Amino acid sequence: GVTDMPVTDSEALATLRRVFGYEAFRGEQGAVIEHVVAGGDAVVLMPTGGGKSLCYQIPALVRPGTGVVVSPLIALMQDQVDALRALGVRAGFINSTQDFDERRVVEAEFLAGELDLLYLAPERLRLEATLDLLSRGKISVFAIDEAHCVSQWGHDFRPDYLALSLLGERWPDVPRIALTATATPATHQEITRRLNMPDARHFVASFDRPNIQYRIVPKADPKKQLLAFLREEHPGDAGIVYCLSRSSVERTAEFLTRNGIEAVPYHAGLDAATRAAHQSRFLREDGLVVVATIAFGMGIDKPDVRFVAHLDLPKSVEGYYQETGRAGRDGLPSTAWMAYGLNDVVQQRKLIQSGGGDEAFRHRAAAHLDAMLALCETAQCRRGRLLAYFGQEPDPAGCGNCDTCLTPPETWDGTVAAQKVLSTVVRLQRERGQKFGAGQIIDILLGRRTGKVIQFDHDQLSVFGKGQELTEGEWRAVVRQLLAQGLIGVEGEYGTLVLTEASASVLRGERTVPLRKDPKRHAASRAGSSA
């Protein structure tokens, strides 16, 4: 209970120094730990790398009994426990990777009061046997890691997390601490409600990562753009390149290696031994580049990751923030670089439409994508947009360390261009059963007599050749931004462009369409303009 054992601040600090070898608490750590050690509930929002683990590890060590940590990251438990044991902390885990005997040993240690920390997968807490085991031992604190997994609106929902509200009912005297690195104000409230922690104290660290420079460039020839970026700005540096598909991970890693940059692939299709080998090389060696799907990085604690590059659009701002947050944990200048283009928008909108899930799921996915697109297309400070997204106050003057602050993009009146695109879509929509994507529309506007244009008599349309004032790349930027703003939609597996409800007001001239001018590409990053 709360008054089991009065502890002073200095016990926590002494533990920090003796066990972990650190001099002082960082940011909110000291306040969180003091509160939990005294028996209070806490909800902790701290960005990746902020030092969340100590917030429950130290209370677990200082308070009598075992700290029970609920974590969905089963793959990391062994490493976490090994690292703690190396420090002399008595830690164990129970999850589905163990056989019966291994589990038995840990259970016995727990019951004998020989564990400081016990890591559990959330699905374990659905089993009466686990709850029974826990009630037969002594628990010092419950830590619920990755607490945003409880949110049905989040990007990482895990149904097993909903059962965690029972912890407070069954163990009313044991303090609970919920931790997450991703929480918009709405998720934050949902955590508190679903975990049933109305009296918890909230600790919110700043989400700003001032040493990370955010940049989002128009995608032309992404692999070449990436190569130029690495050669010019990060030669010999360690970093992570994220791609959406396994095949593009493989191709990109090969491409970099062929061009003299040491790179290894990492994705769920590789066997476990290869993945482990690539991960440990990344941690051990200097200057290795890992090209990965999002499967890579959860729990990776490498302080000197100098860049995170995205060759494909993340599905949400939360995902983008978490992935870019793996750069620069040591506080030194780092870059979050992303190449983003028309195909990204088409592809992701398509995926949402044709993907599984119910209406609510699609609605949620679309809202996440819209927020991500708004970040890509903004003419304002990117850091400001990010912080505002997480409910924090941005500096109104801008950050001075993102691309839009460093080279403010020009905007132009794209109303007429938008009307041209939309009226072409209207004409093509009349051809029932035919599917045309952005490429055909741009060919028509540019007046190109391609095979497909001739085949469908599109050179007979009144809009044919009426868009020669812009280049192909500029038209792609127009369509991309119309898609991002919801002024045009996409349908079906071929990415057919269609009108949306908002299109009508543009066609009728009732609204103007301000567009962002894509920056002129840096000379050395110049690449072909087809993507």
Residues that bind ligand ADP (CB under 6 A): 22, 25-26, 29, 46, 48-54, 301
Separation of alpha carbons 506 and 422, rounded Å: 8
Q: Which does 459 bind (CB under 5 to 8 A by kind): ligand ADP, Zn ion, none?
A: none
C-alpha distance across the termini of the chain, in Å: 62
**Judging by beta carbons within 10 Å of its beta carbon (0-12, 13-18, 19+), is residue 372 exposed, middle or buried?**
buried
Give the position of tokens 């609106």: 153
Separation of alpha carbons 406 and 401, rounded Å: 7
Q: Which does 402 bind (CB under 5 to 8 A by kind): ligand ADP, Zn ion, none?
A: Zn ion
- How is residue 374 written in tokens? 């708004």
Q: Tell me if 60 contacts Zn ion by CB under 5 A.
A: no
Q: Which does 143 bind (CB under 5 to 8 A by kind): ligand ADP, Zn ion, none?
A: none
- List the one residue out of 78, 83, 81 whose CA is nearest residue 98: 78
Closest approach of Zn ion to the CB of residue 325, in Å = 17
Q: Which does 301 bind (CB under 5 to 8 A by kind): Zn ion, ligand ADP, none?
A: ligand ADP
Task: Tell me how long the chain is.
Answer: 531
Closest approach of ligand ADP to the CB of residue 150, in Å = 17
Q: Which does 53 bind (CB under 5 to 8 A by kind): ligand ADP, Zn ion, none?
A: ligand ADP
Binding-site string for Zn ion from residue 388 to residue 407, where x marks contact by CB under 5 A and - marks none: ----------xx--x--x--
Task: Decide whether 230 or 405 has the Cβ nearer to Zn ion.
Answer: 405
Q: Tell me if 52 contacts Zn ion by CB under 5 A.
A: no
Separation of alpha carbons 471 and 410, rounded Å: 17
- How is residue 432 written in tokens? 């029932």
Cα-Cα-Cα-Cα dihedral of 116, 183, 392, 400, to 10°?
90
Q: Which does 50 bind (CB under 5 to 8 A by kind): ligand ADP, Zn ion, none?
A: ligand ADP
424 in Cβ contact with 461 (< 8 Å): yes
Task: Decide whether 53 or 140 has the Cβ nearer to ligand ADP.
Answer: 53
Report 359-388 residues binding Zn ion (CB under 5 A). 381, 383
Q: Which does 486 bind (CB under 5 to 8 A by kind): ligand ADP, Zn ion, none?
A: none
In DSSP notation, 188-254 reads HHHHHHHTT-TT-EEEE-----TTEEEEEEE-SSHHHHHHHHHHHH-TT--EEEE-SSHHHHHHHHH
Task: Decide whether 22 or 494 has the Cβ nearer to ligand ADP.
Answer: 22
Closest approach of ligand ADP to the CB of residue 145, in Å = 8
| Angle, CA 300 vertex, CA 295 and CA 304 arms, to 5° | 125
Task: Decide whether 141 or 506 has the Cβ nearer to ligand ADP.
Answer: 141
Separation of alpha carbons 126 and 141, rounded Å: 19
Closest approach of Zn ion to the CB of residue 389, in Å = 14
Within 10 angstroms of residue 514's Cβ, the number of other Cβ atoms is 12
Closest approach of Zn ion to the CB of residue 315, in Å = 23
Separation of alpha carbons 59 and 49, rounded Å: 19
Q: Which does 40 bind (CB under 5 to 8 A by kind): Zn ion, ligand ADP, none?
A: none
Task: Decide whether 308 or 425 has the Cβ nearer to Zn ion.
Answer: 308
Closest approach of Zn ion to the CB of residue 408, in Å = 10
The contact set with Zn ion (CB under 5 A) reads 381, 383, 398-399, 402, 405
